[in-house]
Structure 1
C-alpha cells in the first residue's frame, strides 16, 4: 500500500484520460506479470425489470475494485446509453476506497483495448481492411483502438440503421481512413472483422471469411446469443479471454459446439504460449472480465498521480496494478 493511501479517502470521480494504446499496455502488463485468467472471480448477473445488473469484482497486485454495471436494452431508444454503472477502485491491502470512475466510460475504453490486444497478435502484419459490424459506442471505440495497433487503410461499416452507419464512416474517414458503408458480404475481402452488436443470430456467412483474416466477436456475454455462425467457428483457430468464462458465457462458441480443447486463452496468446496459425481464420471471442476493468482503472489512477507529482516516474501515491 502507498504511504497514507488508506487515510486519504475517496477521490471525486476520476476522469478517464488514457488513450487506447495506454489501455492496451495496461492489459498486456497484467498478463505478462502472470495473471491467472482462468481463476479470476466470476461475474454475477441479476435480471431486473429494465434488463440486467452485473457485479464484477477483481484484485490485482496493489489494487482491488468492483464494477456495478447495468445493461438496459431499451435505453438507446430513449437517447440513453445501453451500458450504465460505476467503478469503485480500492487500495488492495486495506480495501479502502480510492476513487470512483464512470463505469460506462470504463467499459467503452477497456473492451476495444482487449480486442486490440488480441488482434495485434492475431491479424496479419499488413492488415489493411477492417469490416466492423455495428455503429454504437463500441463500434466507434473499436475503429480507433484497432487502428492504433494495426496498419489499417480502409474501413467498411455494416449496420442496420443507415444514419449511424454513415456517422461511423465519417468518423473513420476523419482519421484518414478510406471509409464506406457496406453489407455483410464485405467480410469476403476483409483482413479484420469486428462484431460489436446486440445481435442474437449470426451477422454473416462464415464461409466468406478469408483464411488470412482475424475476427473478433465482442457483442454478447450470453450463452444463447451469437454474432458468428458455426461455419466460422468450425473453420477458425479459437481464442478466448479465459476458457472458464467462455464455457459459461460465450454463446458464439457454445451454440456451435466448439470443444474447449480448441480454445486458447488470452494469457497464452499474449505471453507467447500459443502458435498463431495463418492457414485459417482466427476468431477471438470476448465476453468481458473484471480484471480488465481493474487493470485500466488502476493505470488511470497511477497516471493521475504521476501527473499530480509532476514526474513521469511515479510518486508516493503511484503503484503498479500488477
Structure 2
C-alpha cells in the first residue's frame, strides 16, 4: 500500500530557516491488524517463578532493572509499492529517549529484513529477564491488516508476539509485555463526525501462556494510520507526550486512554489537493490480556 502526503493539521508550514529547499512536513498513512494465532496447541508444561501473588492489583515494578525496550524502525523498503517512511526517525528518537528516561535498556534497529527481524526478536526473548520489571517492543513500519512489513517482506504479528509467551519466555512469565505498533491496518479512511459539546452543571498458581500482554495499534483494523514527515506519526507523538508528562502518575491503560483522546481529537489530515484523503481522522486500537495494573515507579535511567 502506497502512502499519501498531507500538510500538518491544516496549518501552513513555516520555514524557520532550518529546512532545505523543497522540504515540507506532511502527514502520510502507514499502510497491520490482528493475525490469527499460529501457535497451535502446546503440550509441554512450563514452570516459572512468579514475582507477585495471585491477588496483587499491580505488577511488581521494583526489580533491579526496568527491562528491555526493543525498537524496530523501518524507513527504507525493497517491496514494490512501498514508499520510504519519512518522519519515522523522529518517532524512533522520541521513543528511545522516552523509554530510556523511564529506566529501560533501549535497543534500536533500523531497516531490518524479515529474517533479521525474527532473529532479533527471538534473541531478545531468549535473554534472562529475571531481574526485569517488564518488556516493551515498538515497531515502526508499513503494514496491512494482519501483517507488518520488514524491508523486504511482510511477517505476521504472531511472529513477534509468540516468542514472549510464558512458555517460550519463562523469565517474563507473569510480567507485562507491551507492544506499540505504528503501522496501517488497511486502506479505509475515517472521515470523522462533527460533535457539539454539552456540559451538565503467595501460593503458586497457573496463568495462561498468553496472559500479561498489551498490544497498542496506532489505528483500528482496516484503516490507515497517519504520519507527519517532520514530526512523526500521530500515535507516537501522543504516546511520547503522555509518557513524558504522566508516565509515573497513571497506570498504562489510563495513559493509553489519554493517547486515544489526543489522537482522535487533536489530529486531522490536510490534503487539499486530494479530497479523498483530506480532513481524515484516526483513533488507536488497544487490546490487552493484562491481569493487573501496570504503573511505572521511579527507576534510574539505564
TM-score (norm 1): 0.32
Pick 1 or 2: higher relative contact order, CA cutoff 8 A, min separation 6.
Answer: 2
TM-score (norm 2): 0.33
